[in-house]
Amino acid sequence: MNEQEFFNSIDTWIAAPKVKWTHVTLLAYFCHKYEKKNGIRFRLVRARKGPTMGKEAADFAKLFRTLAPDNYKELSKSKKDEVREKTNMKVFNYINWMFDYKFRRGQQSVNGTRLFLVPSLIVEFERMYAGYLSKRINDDKLGKLISWCKAELSDIFESHQLEREDDIRMIQKYADMYSLGPDSPERKVLEKAKEFKLL
């Protein structure tokens, strides 16, 4: 595959589900983001066997291995697919973070694929990404609690606000202050919040 064929394939490749992405697809997505941000194509280092076998593709293969779990190679096929999808999603978000957040303005910019392998940038991104995933999991749990309350205990909304995690703690303080019993709507909500690991 030559460079022109590579660039012509980018839109098709990056439209595929993340479980099917490879290090080449990750490179393609990088090139897509680079062109979108800078208005010009990223100039790939020429490789005898084409861009899919060049330095940049090797950088994304290394990045995938860095972000994948240590036991990735030993996993079963189905587990490998699941982990591959999660890891590809992580690299996808890392690429977006680098272009849209970390180097969005100023004199520094994303000027090559080697930048993605800088340990301090990986650590900074992983810390931010872990916080994002944790918040998303808690938001999902809160959404489930709110849905349960709407279906099973709709009266709670007449007495209390329940839109954020802090609202659960306010209900807990209220229940403690008035020594409410286990059959009170507040205690029932708090028990359910514990089941969802929100308390």
pLDDT tens-digit series, residues 117-176: 999 999 999 999 988 888 888 888 889 999 999 999 998 998 999 988 899 999 999 999
What value does the mean pLDDT of the chain take? 92
Contact 81, 19 (CB under 8 A): yes
28 burial via Cβ count (<10 Å: 0-12, 13-18, 19+) = buried
Those residues with Cβ within 8 angstroms of residue 31's Cβ, 6 or more apart along the chain or in another chain: 7, 10, 41, 42, 44
Rounded to whole angstroms, the Cα distance separating 87 from 81 reads 10
Average pLDDT, stretch 175-186? 93
Residue with tokens 């010009």: 40
Model confidence at 92: pLDDT above 70: yes
Which tokens is 6 given? 């590579």
Kindly report the pTM of this predicted structure. 0.72
